[in-house]
Amino acid sequence: MTLEVIAAVLVGAAAVWLVLQPLIAPGRPSAPVFEPLDPEETPKGVALAALKEIEFDRETGKLSDEDYAYLKGKYTGVALEALRAESAEQAARGDSAAGGGLGDVEVMIAARVRALRSAATSAPPGAPSCPTCGPRPEADAVFCSTCARRLRQGGACAGCGAALGPASRYCERCGAGVAA
């Protein structure tokens, strides 16, 4: 009986701690990570898969020539549009690897590495931050010296002064939200 009460108290305490821990001790909330779509689920991927399927359906005799021409034209247009949008995005990002089909994960990892490095070495608190390349060491710069994009001021957490990564919505040291 006593043992059971102790077990019940332990279970209850463990459950309550598990649930309330983020509120009581908001130490390290895992920052929401942006996870890109699988390449197959992007507009480009969907259009490419559709083009492949059209070829296959014609080969199996499902599509008449007329329908094939129509669908092929339509989805080629969609695919080209997706490719153009992708290039435009990459150009906007100032990516030297345009056309290489650089995935979002890689951009993220690279940006993250840059942010950590510069934060660890030279970025003073309150330094401006580039949307692509992270916090910059030059306190009075207006444009990024790496990619020439306009810098965002105050790339540091208002709460604890830690440097913020690009597109951070929460400080990764203290968990405070970042005002957009």
Partner 1 sequence: MTLLGQFALWAAFLIAVWCAVIAFSGRWQGRPELAATVTRSVYAVFGCLVVASLALWKGLITHDFNIEYVAAYTSRNLPPYYIVSAFWAGQKGSLLFWAVVLSLFASLAQLLTPRRNADLMPYVAGVTSAVAAFFVSVMLFGASPFERLGYTPADGRGLNPQLQNVGMVIHPPMLYLGYISITIPFAFAIAALLSRRLDTGWIHAIRKWTLVSWLFLSIGITLGMWWAYVELGWGGYWAWDPVENASFLPWLTMTAFLHSVMIQEKRGMLKRWNLGLIVGTFLLSIFGTFITRSGVIASVHSFTQSNVGYFFLAFLVVAAVLSFTLLYTRWPLLEADVQLESMLSREAAFLFNNLLLVGIAFSVLWGTLFPILSEAVRGSKITVGPPFFNRVNVPLGLLLLALTGIGPLIAWRKASTANLRRQFVTPVSAGAATLVVLLAAGVRDLYPVMTFTLAGFVAGTVLQEFYRGIRARRRMHGESVPVAFLRLIERNRRRYGGYIVHVGVLIYFVAFAGMAFKVEREATLKPGESVELRSPFGHTYTFTQVGISQYEALNRVVSAATVQVTVDGKPAGLLTSEKRQHVDSFKRPTFEPSTEVGIRSGLREDLYLVFAGAVGGTEEAVYRFNINPLVWWVWFGGFVLAFGGIVTMWPGGGPTIARTRQAQGGYGVALVGAGKETDR
Partner 2 sequence: MTDQAGSRTPGRRDFLRAGLALVILPPVQDSLSGRGDLGTVRDPSALGRPLAPTDPAENAAEIQAIELKLACNCGCTLDVFTCRTTDFSCTYSPRLHREVLALREQGLSAQQVLDAFVAKYGEKALMAPKPRGFNLAGYLLPGVAITTAGAALTWLISRRRAVAAAAGPSAAAPEVQASDEELARLQRALDEVDD
Query: Smallest distance, Å, CB 94 to partner 1?
Result: 8
Residue 67 to residues 57, 78, 79, 153, Cα–Cα distance (Å): 11, 16, 18, 55
Residue 69 to residues 63, 65, 122, 147, 175, Cα–Cα distance (Å): 9, 6, 58, 43, 55
User: Which residues are CB-neighbours of 37 under 8 A, at least 6 positions away?
Assistant: 45
Identify what 173 binds: partner 1, partner 2, none; CB under 5 to 8 Å per kind.
none
Identify what 51 binds: partner 2, partner 1, none; CB under 5 to 8 Å per kind.
partner 2
Mapped onto helix, strand or coil, the DSSP state of residue 47 is helix
Mapped onto helix, strand or coil, the DSSP state of residue 134 is strand
Identify what 79 binds: partner 1, partner 2, none; CB under 5 to 8 Å per kind.
partner 2
**Rule CB under 8 A: which residues touch partner 1?**
1, 4-5, 7-8, 11-12, 14-16, 18-23, 26, 29-37, 39-41, 45, 48-50, 52, 55-57, 59-64, 66-67, 71, 95-97, 100-103, 105-107, 109-111, 113-114, 117, 133, 146-147, 169-170, 175, 177
Which of 54/151 has CB closer to partner 2? Answer: 54
Rounded to whole angstroms, the Cα distance separating 4 from 86 reads 62
Which of 79/127 has CB closer to partner 2? Answer: 79
Strand-pair partners of 150? 143
Residue 139 corresponds to which tokens in the numbers above? 């306190």
Identify what 162 binds: partner 1, partner 2, none; CB under 5 to 8 Å per kind.
none
**Rule CB under 8 A: which residues touch partner 2?**
44, 48-49, 51-52, 56, 66, 69-70, 72-74, 76-77, 79-80, 83-84, 99, 101
Query: Smallest distance, Å, CB 74 to partner 2?
Result: 6
* 30 burial level (CB within 10 Å; 0-12, 13-18, 19+): exposed
Query: Smallest distance, Å, CB 150 to partner 2?
Result: 30
